[in-house]
Structure 1
Amino acid sequence: MLRVFCFDSLGVTVEDVFLIDPDPVRGGRERGVRVELRLLDPEPWRGSINASQRVVADRAVWRADFLETAADTKDRMHHHPGMIDNEPGQRVFTEDLTGDPMGWLESQLADAVPLLESAKVEDPERHRPAADALRENLAEVVTSVSAVLDRVRAGDLAKTPVRPGPR
């Protein structure tokens, strides 16, 4: 299930994921929720005033993975600050994230501008109105992440491993 929250020039995606780590040393299956902060590309107006408009949430600039293995909950939770060209880079593990995942998420997304700066987004302050709108609606985003994670833990979501290619 993919959920997208749009706040003018910024979006937040919430998606259940099931990953099989290809590294034979780390190995293992991970299930959980992936949260990404994305830039919403401006699109030209099309059609009448009543026409549906195109929404493009392509460029991911920050990611948090609320992943768990079957053996130990919260053991693979991490984040990827400053994603470049949609690539996540190294996993960053912090005690704050595993200690209080939703509180940590709320603190990270409370001001998205520093996350944009870490990703080297040009003129991150131009996204200030969208960052403010995200902060004002943060409870709804965090509630959604928590609900999806609960459904993953219950076995309702993240049943099929992610595979490269079309969905």
Structure 2
Amino acid sequence: MLYAFGFERLGVVVSDLYFVDPDPLPGQETAERGVRLELRIFERGELTGTIYAARPITIERPLWRVDLLQDADAPPNTLDRAHHHPNFNGWDPGPRVFVSELSSDPLAWLTRHLADPESLSKETAASLDDISAPDMQSLRAATPEIVDTVCRRRLKNEPSPAGEK
């Protein structure tokens, strides 16, 4: 399942994830499962047809990633492999950064970071200089819905409000 929350140029994508790391850290050789959230740039394309045509919208480069992961064989909500990637080199993430609060209280940590994009841009190598203040405000306002409706439900494997799993 993939969810996308797009604002003017800034957006968030959230997806379920099952991952086998080809180069795992010691003690993390088993598969991982959970939820991936990425802060991304969204781009609007030019109209390619009549004035009634749908406008192309692409989900572009990642700025920041949070992986709420755990050992695939662990009991639910272990989140023993939850981490974030504060930096990207183009499309490739930098190293995993493990933060104890991210494993112990992931939704509070995620809410605090996602709702403060200005501080997040200082923590990362990503520049948000070309992102408008209203776009930042839209992200702040949507953060509770993104975290609660998507991340909390996906971690608990609950159906979304539309009923899908």
Same fold (TM over 0.5): yes
Q: CA deviation at 1:47?
A: 3.6
Which one-letter code corresponds to 1:63 in the other structure? Answer: R
TM-score, scaled relative to structure 1: 0.82
Fraction of identical pairs, as percent: 38
Partner of 2:151: 145
Check whether the contact 1:82–1:115 (CA below 8 A) recurs between aligned residues. Answer: no
Partner of 2:93: 88
Q: What is the SS of the residue equivalent to 1:137? A: helix
2:12 equivalent to 1:12: yes
Partner of 1:120: 126
Check whether the contact 1:111–1:132 (CA below 8 A) recurs between aligned residues. Answer: no
Of the two structures, which has the highest relative contact order with CA contacts closer than 8 Å and spacing of 6 or more? 1
Partner of 1:2: 2
Q: CA deviation at 1:86?
A: 1.7
TM-score, scaled relative to structure 2: 0.82
Check whether the contact 1:2–1:16 (CA below 8 A) recurs between aligned residues. Answer: yes
Check whether the contact 2:47–2:54 (CA below 8 A) recurs between aligned residues. Answer: no
Count of residues in Structure 1 that have an aligned counterpart in Structure 2: 152
- Tell me the C-alpha RMSD between the 2 structures: 2.1
Q: CA deviation at 1:44?
A: 2.0
Instruction: Give the distance between the partners of 2:126 and 2:157, measured in 1 at CA.
Output: 34
Which one-letter code corresponds to 1:147 in the other structure? Answer: R
Deviations 1:104-134 (A, max 9, x none): 110111122333342332xx23313211101
Moved over 3 A (4+): 45-50
Partner of 2:58: 56
Q: What is the SS of the residue equivalent to 1:126? A: coil
1:104 is matched with which residue: 96, 106, 109?
109
